[in-house]
Structures are given as C-alpha cells and as structure tokens.
C-alpha cells in the first residue's frame, strides 16, 4: 500500500532528523528551532509530496497579525508563532528547510480561495475545520482545539460574562470567519473587518463592546497590548484547527496527518507550543487526528 510505503521512509528520515538536531542546526536554533529537515525522504512519483520536495519549495499561507500563532517579525521579515512552527514541521518532513518556505499572508476570508487557486500549498492559520469549508478544500488535523470567546476593555466596564451578555450589542469580528457566523447566529450585531487587529481600535473607542474570536487569538492580542484588554474566558464554541489543502488530495492529507501525529509523539509539537503560544498559555494535550 502506497501510504504505508512512504510512512516507513519518513519514520527512518525522522530518526535522522533527530540526530541532526542534536548536533546543532545551521539556523542557530539548536533545541529551539524546528527539527532539521529530513534529507533522505523519498515519495511516490506524482504525489504532492514528491512535487514539493523536487521543487525545493513550499508556499504556506498564515496570519501575519496574530501574536502567538502567526505574527510578522519586521526585523527578520518572517512570521512567528505556533501556526508557523506547525508549517515548518510539515516542510521539514518534505525534506525542505526553513529557507525553502515562502510565507504568504492569509486573512480569514481568503483562505479557501488561496488553496483553490493554488496560490498556496497549505494554509496554517487558526483555521477551523468545518463541513462548509470541506465542500471546497480538505483539512489535515486537528492540531489544536480552540474555542470562541470575548475580549473586552481591561476592568470589563460593561460587566460582560459571556455570549448572552452581548446579544443585540455591537461586537467586532472578521469577515469569512466562523467567529462572525457564530455571532450572527447568536443574534449579536457584528461589526465585520478584515483582521482581528483591526478590531482593537473600535473596542478602544467604544464603537463595540467586545471583540470576538478564538480564545487563543484574543489572548495574543491582550498580551501584545498589556493593560488594555482582558479575555472573558468563557468559551462558547469548539474550533478545531486544521491545515487546509487542495480538496481530496488524500495522499497529502494522510502525509500531513502522519506528520502531525509523529510530532505529537516525539515532542516536536509540544516544543513548538512552548516556544510560541506557550509563553502566555499553558501547554495543552495534543488532540486526536480526524481520519
């Protein structure tokens, strides 16, 4: 069976990768950086894995304005965060180094079109797996389970305790996100913008009483703007984060799922968390992959 064949090669390559990591990485990361790329991978001809490996390049869509998950570092001109580390893990299993990744900014509304048009090979961008999206793309994962919550001004001047307290009130969220849809379904008056960072000014000015999206995105924004905002911490949805890929590319989906499962087991996933989101949030248990 094809899947079993490349899985065996990857396990062997993964062992090499660990050895390489112990001897230090050219990126100067040592224990900090993503695993050293597995050089001796080989893939069945015609698969997306073979194509990406042979091209020596993968294009990954991620957020550029979400602290902890995907935030552009203007000094290095590279994004940083948990999603970025997950993208690096996938690239490494394809035998690609960090330098062989092209990062493209994804916003909530352009993720499916990016994948459908082939502008990116994968999307790793706080991307909830759901049936509506599965009509046009496929997902690997989940690699994290978030939940939608509310961000308010520090001190919570309106005394908001949860979603019921903002029904009929104005709350900022992002077009094309599950957050926007969940709010609309709950009877909240939504001010929709393109990125969550663009929701902060309306919250500061009092145009909205809250910003709503996944708790981990809100935690990152609160951490980035110390003393200004707080997360209510009363999540009201489940948001399993997946890696978006071309619809029905089952070999690639299985490959990414195998990669994620390996990272759950060998500690690479936990390490990726600890160096990014883990600076603010406690380390969760890895979720179970949907097969």
Residues that bind ligand GLU (CB under 6 A): 108, 125-128, 174, 177-179, 213-214, 217, 239
d(Cα 160, Cα 138) in Å, to the nearest integer? 37
Residues 2 and 251 sit within 8 Å (Cβ to Cβ): yes
CB of 25 or CB of 178, closer to ligand GLU: 178
CB of 25 or CB of 66, closer to ligand GLU: 66
CB of 111 to ligand GLU, least distance (A): 8
CB of 33 or CB of 213, closer to ligand GLU: 213
CB of 199 to ligand GLU, least distance (A): 11
Q: What is the DSSP letter of 247?
A: T
CB of 35 to ligand GLU, least distance (A): 26
CB of 98 to ligand GLU, least distance (A): 23
Q: Which residue is nearest to ligand GLU (CB)?
A: 177
Residues 80 and 153 sit within 8 Å (Cβ to Cβ): no
Q: Do the bridges between strand 229-231 and strand 148-153 make them parallel or antiparallel, or are there none, so unpaired? A: antiparallel
Residues 100 and 90 sit within 8 Å (Cβ to Cβ): no
Around 181, how many Cα atoms within 13 Å sit in the side-chain half-sphere?
Answer: 10
CB of 93 or CB of 214, closer to ligand GLU: 214
CB of 36 or CB of 239, closer to ligand GLU: 239
Cα 96 to chain center, whole Å? 19
CB of 127 or CB of 143, closer to ligand GLU: 127
Residues 63 and 5 sit within 8 Å (Cβ to Cβ): no
Please give the angle made by the CA atoms of 179, 144 and 116, to the nearest 5 degrees. 65
Residues 208 and 191 sit within 8 Å (Cβ to Cβ): yes
CB of 113 to ligand GLU, least distance (A): 14
d(Cα 151, Cα 203) in Å, to the nearest integer? 9
CB of 281 to ligand GLU, least distance (A): 16
């Amino acid at each position: 069976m094809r899947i079993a064949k490349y899985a065996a090669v990857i396990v062997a390559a993964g062992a090499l990768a660990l050895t390489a990591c112990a001897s230090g990485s050219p990126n100067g990361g040592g224990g900090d950086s993503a695993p050293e790329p597995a050089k001796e991978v080989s893939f069945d001809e015609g698969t997306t894995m073979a194509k990406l490996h042979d091209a020596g390049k993968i294009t990954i869509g991620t957020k550029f304005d979400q602290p902890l998950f995907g935030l552009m570092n203007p000094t290095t001109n590279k994004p940083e965060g948990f999603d970025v580390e997950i993208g690096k893990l996938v690239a490494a299993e394809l035998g690609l180094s960090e330098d062989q990744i092209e990062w493209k900014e994804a916003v909530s509304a352009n993720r499916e079109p990016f994948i459908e048009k082939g502008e990116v090979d994968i999307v790793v961008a706080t991307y909830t797996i759901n049936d509506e999206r599965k009509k046009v793309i496929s997902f690997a994962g989940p690699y994290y389970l978030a939940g939608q919550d509310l961000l308010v001004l520090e001190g919570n001047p309106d005394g908001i305790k949860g979603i019921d307290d903002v029904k009929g009130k104005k709350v900022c969220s992002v077009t094309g996100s599950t957050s926007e849809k969940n709010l609309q379904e709950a009877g909240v008056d939504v001010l929709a913008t393109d990125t969550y960072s663009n929701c902060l000014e309306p919250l500061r000015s009092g145009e909205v009483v809250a910003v709503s999206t996944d708790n981990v995105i809100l935690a990152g924004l609160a951490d980035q703007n110390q003393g200004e905002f707080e997360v209510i911490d009363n999540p009201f949805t489940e948001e399993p984060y997946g890696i978006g890929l071309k619809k029905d590319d089952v070999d690639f989906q299985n490959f990414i799922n195998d990669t994620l499962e390996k990272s759950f087991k060998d500690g690479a996933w936990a390490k990726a968390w600890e160096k990014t989101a883990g600076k603010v949030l406690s380390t969760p248990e890895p979720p179970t992959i949907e097969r």
